[in-house]
Amino acid sequence: MSVPLSAMMTAASHTPVSQAGYLTSSYTLAAAITCLLIRSRTSNRFIVMLYLIGLAASTVAVTATSDFAFMLAARVAAGVFGGALTVLNVEHLLACTHPSQKKKFTAYIMSTYPLALTVGIPVLLLFAGKTDWQSAFWMVGGLLVIALLGFGLLPLSSFTSIANTANACPPPAAGSQSHTVDEGMNRPLIAGIATIILAVFSTFLLSLQFPVMLLERLAISEAQLSLSYLLGGSGCFVAMQWYGRHHPKQSLRLITALSGGMVITALAGFSLQWSLLAVFCFAGFMVVSATRTLVLVTEIISSVSDSIRVRVLGMQNALQHFAVGSAGAISSMLIIPAEAGSPGYTPLLVFAILCIGITPVMWRMTLRLSRA
């Protein structure tokens, strides 16, 4: 949530706007390390409640001062608790899914992320625009407390019965078309995870700086930025719902087409001087980039066996968070001063487009390894 608010946060802390990426990288790198430490395939209700308390407290703590270093520390703490919750929740939901339906329901689970983007970010931006950026963090903290109370009211028997249902799921029928990777981390799986990491890295190289550029160079309003997140999130949600229902077999063509869409919308958005059209380019970039990443994640997660899924989830989430954190730091480094002291984005665009173009090549290699 700090991505759209980062420009406001850096301004409040009297920090150059080019440093906004560090607010995201501090969260994601902490979440990455936490994901690597999650090993248990069972979710203890009280541990989940502890993570929710920690996430709520660290989310609100970022508003305690305008010191940039303290903000980074608070985001690190939030990343620790948020990373743990991500792995446990996704694993818990997939454990309840029949093996033959894993790709379909994985796509549905992945589509909840852009749905949250569609509903949450515009509301937070409008709220922050009418009050201040601190109010948005207080709102999220309050929602986490409500989730904590609701989770605590659940009977323990209803929580444990879900895990028991997962153990009772029958194996796929003989001759089933669903493909699962055998025990262990083999070459196609490692190549697939590497492709996801590059996809995430190339996406966040631009998506972390895109809204900052719109606010700083084109001086768009919070309402316009909210509109872009609304259109981007809803577009990705619709795309993933379609993918979950049809999951086309030609995933390489889909990934290639989405990568091309990323290049077009990025070049147009960073070049245009008409703010409204640039906003629509940002929305389009979010649709194609988020859909590309979620399709790759769905393909990999739905293909692994139950016994190693938590390991794959932890590794994938950890490396994905590392990619986001690295992208935030590197994107800030690649922004150079231009005329009148405004940021210059040309080196960032060149490097990001190169990474975007390599992703379909890596996915093609992954598909070839899986068929060997």
H helix or E strand, kind and range, residue 344: strand 343-344
Whole-prediction pTM value? Answer: 0.66
Q: How far is CA 69 from CA 74, 186, 234, 324, 325, in A?
A: 9, 41, 34, 19, 16
**292: in domain:** yes
Question: What is the model's pLDDT at position 305?
Answer: 64
Q: Please state whether beta strands 343-344 and 336-337 pair in parallel, antiparallel, or not at all (unpaired).
A: antiparallel
191 in any annotated domain: yes
Cβ atoms of 7 and 215 closer than 8 Å: yes
Give domain status of residue 174, yes or no. Answer: no
pLDDT at 103: 62
Asked whether residue 28 is domain-assigned, the answer is yes
What pLDDT is stored for residue 33 in this prediction?
82
Q: What radius of gyration do the chain's Cα atoms show?
A: 20
Confirm if 20 and 7 have CB atoms less than 8 A apart.
yes
Within-domain flag for 173: no
- On whether residue 356 sits in a domain, the answer given is yes
Q: How far apart are CA 361 and CA 115, in angstroms?
A: 29
pLDDT the model gives residue 265? 95
At 275-303, the pLDDT tens digits run: 889 999 999 999 999 899 888 888 887 77
The structural domain count of the chain equals: 1
pLDDT for res 219:
84
Instruction: Choose among 193, 184, 183: nearest CA to 363.
Output: 193
Element (H, E) at 42: none
**pLDDT of 171:** 46
**Alpha-carbon span 46 to 41, nearest angstrom:** 15
Which stretches of the chain score pLDDT less than 70? 1-4, 7, 17-18, 39-44, 92-119, 154-185, 247-248, 304-311, 313-314, 337-343, 372
In a domain, 299, yes or no: yes
CATH number (domain holding residue 284): 1.20.1250.20
- Report how far apart, in Å, the C-alpha atoms of 241 and of each of 106, 179, 253 are: 11, 21, 18
* Among 168, 109, 116, residue whose Cα is nearest residue 302: 109
Domain range spanning residue 314? 2-168+184-371
Q: Is 193 among the domain residues?
A: yes
Question: Pick from 198, 191, 197: which is nearest to 371 by CA?
Answer: 191
